[in-house]
Structure 1
Amino acid sequence: MSLASIKDAPVRNDAGIELVLSILAQRFGERFSTAGAIREQHSHTTSWLPSQLPDGVVFAESTEEVSEAVRICNEHDVPVIAFGTGSSLEGHVNAPAGGISIDLSRMNEVIAVNAEDLDCIVQPGVTRKQLNDYLRDTGLFFPIDPGADASLGGMAATRASGTNAVRYGTMKDAVLGLTAVLADGRVIHTGGRARKSSAGYDLTRLLVGSEGTLGIITEVTLRLHGIPEAVSGGVCPFPDLESACNAVIATIQCGIPVARIEILDKVQVKACNAYSKLDLAETPTLFLEFHGTEAGVREQSELFGEIAQDCGGGEFVWATQAEDRTRLWTARHNAYWAALGLRPGCKGVSTDVCVPISRLADCIAETYRDIEGMGLVAPLVGHVGDGNFHVLVLVDMDKPEEIEATDRFIERLNWRAIEMGGTCSGEHGVGQGKMKYLPKEHGEAIEAMRSIKAALDPKGILNPGKILPAG
C-alpha cells in the first residue's frame, strides 16, 4: 500500500450512519460526540497513512454499554472501531467508511489482583504503567512494555510486545482470558485463570492480535510475574552493526536468560545522546538487562561480557544503580521522539519486521545498505533478542522523491523479512499499512482468515478495511 491512497476502502453507508448518530446521541448524551476535534483525535495515526475520521465517538464505561453501541451499529450496518490510546502505528484506528469510534479509555479499573496465582483482571482502558503502579506493593509486575503507555486492551488487540519479550514473551503469552463484544452485540468470555486448558477452541488466542476485527475486548485476564531479586544491566558499544548482531545471536544461542537486549545504531545513539542527555559513544550499541538472583545476574553479565569481547565489542559499562538503569531505558523508550529531532519538521515513518535469530545479522546488514544507498535518514533500533527490529524513516513530505524512496525502502524491508522466513511485523500489527504483505506471508491461510471473519462478523462492521486485503 502506498502513502498516497488507501486502496479497497469499504463502502460508506450514509443513511445508516445518520440514523445511528441520532440514536447514540439520545442514548449516551454528553458521552457521545460528533465534534470535529474529537473525531480527528480518534482517527489520529502516527503512520503516514492519511487520517480517516469516524462520524461520532462513544465514550463507553462498561461492557454493557459497548454491547449496546455495537448492537445499534450492527442493526444499521454501520462500522465500529475500538479506540484505546491511539498509539498504534499502522492506521488501526482509521475509519475508512466512517462510522462510530468506541473510546474505551474510561473503562480503566483494575478489577482484581490474585497475588497467590500471579494474575489480575483489568478493564481495557488500564494502561501498562497504571497497572504496574497499582501492583507496586504486591511484589509483582506486568512485563510487556511497548514504548508507548498503551492501553492493555489495545495491547491485547494488536498482540503487542516490547523490550522484555525475549524473557517474558508477548501479549499472546500474557493473556489468560478475555471478555469481548462480538459484532452482533453478544458478550463472550474466553479462557480463564487456569494456567492450561484442553477444553474447546482457543478463542483467546484468536482474539489476541485480531486488531478489533473479530470483537471488541472489554476485559483482560493477565499473567503477572514476581519482581526479580536482582537486576543488573548496562551498555556495550560495537564497531559495527554486524558485530553487535553476532553478539546477540551468540547470547541467545548460548541460552543466557537475558531479560532485555536492545540494539541502537550509531544514528539512534546520536539522537538519544541529544534528547536524553546521555554521553554514549556514537557507535552501534547494545542495551542489556539481566533478572534473577544476585549470583545469577552476575554470572549472566560476565558470560555476556566474554561473548561481546569475542565479537569485537568494547567494555560492558554497568548501570549498577536503579536510577541509572531507569535513565537508560527511558532513553530507549523515548527513541522515537529523540529521532524526530534529527530532522525537525519531517514526518517519522516507523516500520518493523521480525526474522529468525540466525538471519538477524543478514537482514539488518541488507537493510542498512538500503538506507545508505537510498540516502535516507533512518535510525534503527530493535528488540533483537527475538529477531525484531524497527526503522524510523524521517521524511520531508514536501519532497516526492523522499516519499517514493521511503515507500520503496519499506516494501523491500518487508519482502526481505518474509523471504528470510520472518514476518512483516513482529509487533506493530497489520492495520491498513501492511495488508499487502499478508498473502505472501500466509498464502492459502488468508482464505481461512476470511472465513473466520465472515463467521464472526458477517456484515463486516468491526474495524473494516484492516488486516485482510480485498479478495
Structure 2
Amino acid sequence: MISDIVYAELSSVLEGRLTRSKSELDQHGLSETWFPLTPPEAVAYPESTEEVVALMKLCHAHEIPVTGFGAGTSLEGQTLAVQGGIVVDFSRMNRVLRINDADMDAVVQPGITREALNVELRATGLMFPVDPGANASLGGMAMTRASGTTAVKYGTMKENVIGLEVVLADGTVIHTGSRARKSAAGYDLTSLFVGSEGTLGLITEMTVQLHGQPEAISAAVCSFDEIGPAVEAVIATIQVGLPMARIEFLDAASVDAVNRYSGANFPLKPHLFVEFHGSEGAVAEQVEMFGEIIHDFGGSDFEWASKAEDRNALWTMRHHAYWACLALKTGSKAVVTDICVPISKLADAVEQTRADIAASPLDGPILGHVGDGNFHAILLVDPDNETEIKEAKRLAHLMAERALALGGTITGEHGIGMGKKGLMAEEHGDGWAVMGQIKAAMDPKNILNPGKLVP
C-alpha cells in the first residue's frame, strides 16, 4: 500500500504527473481479453529517462511494485498490476529522437506507436515493418517480442530491435547493443530484455532497424474448400522459398465474423490473405508462381488489390478480425491463445485444433500469421461464466501441449504474462528456473512486474 507521504514524494519527482484518479486507474487495469479489472494504486506519466530513474529509485527504496504500460494491447495480462503499486505509462515518451537514413535505423522513445513512427518515416523512403495488428507502442512490442503479419519477410521485434536504453530496478541506467550490424562483444543483453515483459527493467530508448519501402505491392485473397489444402499451400509456398511479405489464414468462422463486422462478402470458406513486396518485375513473378501453387491445392482465383486504398481496406478487415470475432457473441470476452509450430507440422496443428473446438460448446474462430507457423484461436466466453472460462483454458492447454509435442512453442507472439505462466516449466524445464535466477539477480526485491513470466 502506497502511503500518502510516499505518494507525495513520488508525485514530486514527476511534477504532479502521478494520479489516483479512479477513471485512470480503471483504464490501466483493463485487459484486451478475459482477465478481470485489476487497477493499480497509482499511474505515473514520465517524460524523460531522468524521471524514470528518480521514480525507480524511490520505488526500489520503498519496495513498491512497478508495471510498465505502453498502449495496453497485450493479451496475456502483461500490463495488469496484480500486486498493486504503480503503473508507469510511457505515452508521453513518444518522440523520434533520430533517424539515420544512411544506416537505415532510428532512435525512438518507447511510447511511440508503430503507425506514428511510419508517418515520421514517409519522406525518407524507409519504414518500420513489424505489424502486430494493433497500433501498439514500440516499447510494449519489444517487451513482448511482438511480431505479426509481416514477420515472414521482415522478422519480429527480436530481429528489428538493435539497441536499448534500460532503467533497472534500482534506477541504474544501462545501454545495450550498438548501431553496428553485428557484434561479438559478450552477452547479448538486447535480446535478454526483448521479450522480458517488463520483469527486468523499463525501456526508455530504443534503436530499431528500418527497411526500404517497396517499389511495388500487391495483395490478394483466395479461398479453399477445406482447411487442410489452404495450410498445405502455405507450407509449399514457404518450402519453395517464395518471398511473401504477408500470408494470413482465416478459417470459415473468422471469415463469417469479418463479413458481418466489415460488410464484406467473402465465401464462407477458409481463406488466405497474401501480400507481395518488391520491384514491379519481382512482384509479377511472385504472383505468377504463387498462383500456380494455389491452383495445385484447389484454391480459388485471386481477388487482387493493387491500389493502396484497396490494400488498406483488405488489411483493415484482417486487423479488425479480433473485434469481429468478439461481435459474434454479444457481451463476450475472449481467451485468445496462440501457438507456433514448425512449418511442416502446421496443417496437423490447425486441423486438430479445429476438431477440438468443434467438439467443445464454445465458439472459437482460428486465424494466424501462418507463414511462420503461428496461429491463434479466439475462444469466446461469457466473462461471468466460470464453466466457459475453464473450458477455454482447457482448449488453450491442449493447443499448447500439441505445439510442444510437434516441436513448437506455447506462444509465438502473445507472450506469457499470467495467462501461460503455468506452461513455462513444460516448455523450458530447468531453463525456466534459470530465468528466475536472472530475475532474482537483477531485481532482488521483485518490484518489476511481479507475478508474471518467471517462477
TM-score range, shorter chain: over 0.9
Q: Aligned partners of 2:390, 2:426: CA distance in 1, in Å?
A: 22
Q: Which amino acid aligns with 1:221?
A: T
Q: 1:450–1:116: structure 2 CA closer, same or farther, 3 Å change rule? A: same
Q: How many residues align?
A: 455
Q: Larger deviation: 200-209 or 340-349?
A: 340-349
Once the two structures are TM-superposed, the CA of residue 346 in structure 1 deviates from its matched residue by: 1.3
Give matches, 1:91-170, under 5 Å. 91-170=77-156
Q: Does 1:376 align with 2:362?
A: yes
Moved more, 289-298 or 247-256: 289-298
Q: In the alignment, is residue 419 of structure 1 matched against residue 388 of structure 2? A: no
Q: In the alignment, which of 253, 256, 259 is matched to residue 270 of structure 1?
A: 256
- Is residue 442 from structure 1 mapped to residue 428 from structure 2 by the alignment? yes
Q: Does 1:451 align with 2:434?
A: no
1:355 and 2:352 correspond:
no
- Report the CA distance between 1:27 and its aligned residue: 3.1
Structure 2 counterpart of 1:231, from 202, 217, 220: 217
Give the match for residue 201 of structure 1.
Answer: 187
Alpha-carbon distance between aligned partners in 2 of 1:379 and 1:291, rounded to the nearest angstrom: 28
Counterpart of 2:172, as a letter, is R
CA contact (8 A) 1:17 1:99 kept: no
CA RMSD in angstroms comes to 1.2
CA distance in 2, matches of 1:434, 1:19: 37
SS in 1 for 2:254: helix
The amino acid across from 1:360 in the alignment is L
Whether 2:157 is the aligned partner of 1:171: answer yes
Deviation at 1:243, TM superposition (A): 0.7
CA distance in 1, matches of 2:295, 2:122: 37
Q: 1:308 offset after TM fit, Å?
A: 0.9
Within the alignment, does 1:343 sit opposite 2:329 as a pair? yes
- 1:52 corresponds to 2:38: yes
- Shift of residue 32, structure 1, vs aligned partner: 0.7
Contact 1:119-1:222 within 8 A present in 2 as well: yes
Q: Residue type matched to 1:28 in 2?
A: L
Query: Which ranges of structure 1 fall in alignment gaps of 5 or more residues?
Result: 1-13
Structure 2 Cα separation of the partners of residues 169 and 219 of structure 1: 21
Secondary structure at 1:424's aligned position in 2? Answer: coil
Query: Within the alignment, does 1:305 sit opposite 2:281 as a pair?
Result: no
What is the CA-CA distance between 1:321 and the residue it aligns to? Answer: 1.7
**Which structure 2 segments of 5+ residues have no match?**
none
Cα distance in 1, alignment partners of residues 228 and 179 from structure 2: 43
Equivalent AA in structure 2 for residue 410 of structure 1: A
Q: 2:13–2:54: 8 Å Cα contact kept in structure 1?
A: no
SS in 2 for 1:116: coil
1:250 maps to which of 215, 236, 256: 236
Question: Of residues 271, 282, 285 in structure 2, which corresponds to 1:296?
Answer: 282
* CA contact 1:88–1:428 (8 Å) conserved in 2: yes
Give SS of 1:345's match.
coil
- The CA distance in 1 between the partners of 2:384 and 2:357, in whole Å, is 20
Provide closer, same or farther for how the CA distance between residues 18 and 463 of structure 1 changes in structure 2, counting only shifts above 3 A: farther
| Overall identity of the aligned pairs, in % | 54
Normalised by the length of structure 2, the TM-score is 0.98
SS in 1 for 2:377: strand
Give yes or no for contact 1:246–1:311 (8 Å, CA) kept in 2. Answer: yes
What is residue 8 of structure 2 aligned with on the other side?
A: 22
8 A Cα contact 1:17 1:78, kept in partner: no
3-state DSSP of counterpart to 1:134: helix
- Kept in 2: contact 1:17–1:55 (CA 8 A): no
Q: Is the 8 A contact 1:237 1:286 kept in 2?
A: yes
Could you tell which deviates more after superposition, 60-69 or 271-280?
271-280
The CA deviation at 1:314 is 1.2
The Cα offsets for residues 19-66 of structure 1, whole Å up to 9 and x where unpaired, read as 532311333343110122111111211221223221111110001101
TM-score by length of 1: 0.95
1:210 aligns with 2:206: no
Q: How much has 1:319 moved relative to structure 2?
A: 1.4
